[in-house]
C-alpha cells in the first residue's frame, strides 16, 4: 500500500506553498489507493510555537486535505534518533565537529566561497576542518565539554554503502552523489538530531513508501539514501514537485504573509479557489 506524508514544521502559518505540498501528498495517496500521514517536524524547539500545530491542522481541514491517524511529532522521538546515532557511530561514519558557524564562514571565505546562497537554503559544503582532527584531540575536547555536532563523513559513508540510486516519479532513476552536500550534520549541538537523520528514521518508522516534497530537497535525498542504506532501512520512492514561487521567481517563505492560507481565507477566498490555483500550478509545472 502507498503511504505518503506531509511533514511541515510548526514555525509559522501554512502558506500556498505548503498547501501544494500537502495536496500532492494527498493526491498521490488517493491515486494509489493509499493513505497520507501528517508529521510535525518540530525538532528545533526554539523556532516552533505551540499554536502552530493546531493552526496547521485547521488549515488542512479547511482545504479538505485529510490525513490518517494521529499526527506524529518529532520532538517525541528523541530516543529513537539516539539509537540511530549510536548505530552510525558504531559504523565509524561520523565525526564530532566543534566548529562554530562563524568559524565555518571564515574558513569558507578564506577559500573564496560564500557561506550560503542568499535564500539561506543552500549552505556551502562544510570545509572539513574537524574531519582531520586526531582521535586524541577529539577525545580531549569532548572530555573538556566542548560543544560539538556530529557530521557524516561522506567519504567513509560512500565507501561503506557502495553505489546507490533512488527513483523519482518525475526525474526517473537518479544516481546518488554522496558528496553533493558534503559532510552534513547528523546531530546538531543543541538538538542531538538533524533534519536528515530524523526524516530518514521517521519515514521508515511510519512505513512511508512514497516521499513527496518540494524539489528544493532533491539534494537532501542523496544523503537520505545513503543513511537508509547505512541504517538498513527500506528505500521509499520519491516525487519532488516544483515549488510555488513569488513574483520574483523566489521560493515562498513564511514572511509571505499575503499568501498565508489564513490570510487568504480572511480576504474571502474559499478552499476551492486555493485548490484550483494549486492544481493549475501543479499542471503547469508538469509535476503530475
Ligand atoms: N519539514 C520539511 C519542511 O518543512 C519537509 C521535510 C520533508 O518533506 O522531507 O520543509
Claim to verify: residue 110 and residue 188 sit in the same structural domain: yes
CATH code, 119: 3.90.800.10
Consecutive H or E run containing 271 = helix 271-284
Domain count, the chain: 2
Claim to verify: residue 180 and residue 90 sit in the same structural domain: yes
Choose one of 17, 122, 199, 202 to mutate for the ligand 1 pocket test, by most ligand atoms within 8 angstroms of C-beta: 199
Take atom 10 of ligand 1 and give the residue whose Cα is closest: 8
CATH code, 19: 3.40.50.620
Claim to verify: residue 101 and residue 188 sit in the same structural domain: yes
pLDDT at 32 (0 to 100): 95
Quote the CA–CA distance of 247 and 6 in Å, as a whole number: 25
Quote the CA–CA distance of 116 and 107 in Å, as a whole number: 13
Per-residue exposure over 78-103, b if at least 16 CB sit within 10 Å of its own CB, e if not: eebbeebbeebeeeebbbbbbbeeee
What is the pTM assigned to this prediction?
A: 0.93
Q: What is the pLDDT of residues 137-192, one digit of tens each?
A: 999 999 999 999 999 999 999 999 999 999 999 999 999 999 999 999 999 999 98
Tell me the three cell numbers of residue 205: 518508522
Claim to verify: residue 182 and residue 100 sit in the same structural domain: yes
Q: Are 41 and 9 in contact (CB under 8 A)?
A: yes
pLDDT at residue 116 is higher than 80: no
Claim to verify: residue 126 and residue 71 sit in the same structural domain: no
pLDDT at 9 (0 to 100): 96
Provide the residue range defining the domain that includes 131: 79-166+174-192
Claim to verify: residue 112 and residue 151 sit in the same structural domain: yes
In a domain, 216, yes or no: no
Claim to verify: residue 90 and residue 40 sit in the same structural domain: no
In a domain, 61, yes or no: yes
In a domain, 69, yes or no: yes
Q: Cell numbers 537523520 label which residue?
A: 197
For residue 199 and ligand 1, the question of a CB distance below 6 A is answered with yes
CA angle 235/241/246 to nearest 5° reads 145
Claim to verify: residue 87 and residue 187 sit in the same structural domain: yes
Amino acid at each position: 500500500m502507498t503511504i505518503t506524508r506531509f511533514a511541515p514544521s510548526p514555525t509559522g502559518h501554512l502558506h500556498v506553498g505548503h498547501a501544494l505540498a500537502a495536496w500532492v501528498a494527498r493526491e498521490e495517496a488517493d491515486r494509489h489507493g493509499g493513505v497520507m500521514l501528517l508529521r510535525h517536524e518540530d525538532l528545533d524547539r526554539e523556532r516552533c510555537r505551540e499554536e502552530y500545530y493546531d493552526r496547521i491542522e485547521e488549515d488542512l481541514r479547511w482545504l479538505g486535505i485529510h490525513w490518517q491517524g494521529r499526527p506524529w511529532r518529532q520532538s517525541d522521538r528523541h530516543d529513537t534518533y539516539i539509537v540511530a546515532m549510536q548505530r552510525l557511530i558504531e559504523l565509524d561514519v561520523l565525526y564530532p565537529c566543534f566548529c562554530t558557524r562563524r568559524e565555518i564562514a571564515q574558513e569558507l571565505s578564506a577559500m573564496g566561497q560564500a557561506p550560503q546562497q542568499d535564500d539561506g537554503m543552500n549552505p556551502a559544503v562544510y570545509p572539513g576542518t574537524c574531519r582531520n582532527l586526531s582521535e586524541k584531540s577529539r577525545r580531549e575536547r569532548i572530555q573538556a565539554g566542548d560543544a560539538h555536532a556530529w557530521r557524516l563523513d561522506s567519504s567513509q559513508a560512500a565507501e561503506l554503502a557502495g553505489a546507490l540510486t533512488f527513483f523519482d516519479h518525475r526525474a526517473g532513476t537518479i544516481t546518488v552523489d554522496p558528496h553533493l552536500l558534503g559532510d552534513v550534520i547528523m546531530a546538531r549541538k543543541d538538538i542531538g538530531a538533524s533534519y536528515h537523520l530524523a526524516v530518514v528514521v521517521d519515514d521508515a518508522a511510519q512505513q512511508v513508501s512514497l516521499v513527496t516534497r518540494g524539489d528544493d530537497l532533491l539534494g537532501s535525498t542523496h544523503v537520505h539514501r545513503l543513511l537508509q542504506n547505512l541504517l538498513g532501512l527500506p528505500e521509499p520512492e520519491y516525487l519532488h514537485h516544483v515549488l510555488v514561487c513569488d513574483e520574483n521567481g523566489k521560493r515562498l517563505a513564511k514572511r509571505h504573509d499575503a499568501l498565508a492560507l489564513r490570510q487568504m481565507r480572511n480576504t474571502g477566498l474559499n478552499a476551492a479557489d486555493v485548490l484550483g490555483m494549486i492544481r493549475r500550478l501543479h499542471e503547469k509545472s508538469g509535476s503530475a
